[in-house]
């Protein structure tokens, strides 16, 4: 189960579910996955928030740099090299983008 799924269940149980945020997260994840598929030429690979760039997708440092440039262009943000060290999964990049945008 994805983080979004777990969060949704917890929010439904506590009555704090905001459908707008959930839909925004789904839309963002779909856009991020689309960028990853395009940049890495991946069609038949399942990509979730938990997907590791290195372990699951075989992304090397050059691939990651190209992905970062695509995310920067799409979301009009700038990632510092120091911040990239903490990014290992699709969920990590999603959280970073949310931190620096109104997504």
Task: Kindly list the distances between the CA atom of residue 103 and the CA atoms of 26, 61, 85, in Å, as whole numbers in the listed order.
Answer: 11, 26, 22
Write the pLDDT tens digit of every residue in 31-64. Answer: 999 999 999 999 889 999 999 999 999 999 889 8
Q: What is the pTM of this model?
A: 0.75
CB distance 33 to 71 below 8 Å? no
The DSSP call for residue 15 is T
pLDDT of residue 22: 63
**Helix, strand, or coil (residue 52):** strand
How far is Cα 91 from Cα 50, in angstroms, rounded to an integer? Answer: 6
Residues in CB range of 43: below 8 A, 6 or more apart: 37
Query: Which of the residues 56, 60, 63, 102 is marked catalytic?
Result: 60
Enumerate domains of the chain plus CATH numbers. Answer: 21-100 (1.10.1200.10)
Whether 92 sits among the annotated catalytic residues: the reply is no
Query: Can you give the pLDDT at residue 101?
Result: 82
Percent of the chain with pLDDT over 90: 49
């Amino acid at each position: 189960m994805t983080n979004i799924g777990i969060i949704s269940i917890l929010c439904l149980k506590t009555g704090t579910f905001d459908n707008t945020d959930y839909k925004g997260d789904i839309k963002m994840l779909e856009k991020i996955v689309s960028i990853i598929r395009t940049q890495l030429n991946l069609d038949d690979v399942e990509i979730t928030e938990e997907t590791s760039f290195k372990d699951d997708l075989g992304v090397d440092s050059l691939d990651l740099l190209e992905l970062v440039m695509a995310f920067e262009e799409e979301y009009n943000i700038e990632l510092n090299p120091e911040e990239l060290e903490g990014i290992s999964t699709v969920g990590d990049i999603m959280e970073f983008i949310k931190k620096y945008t109104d997504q």
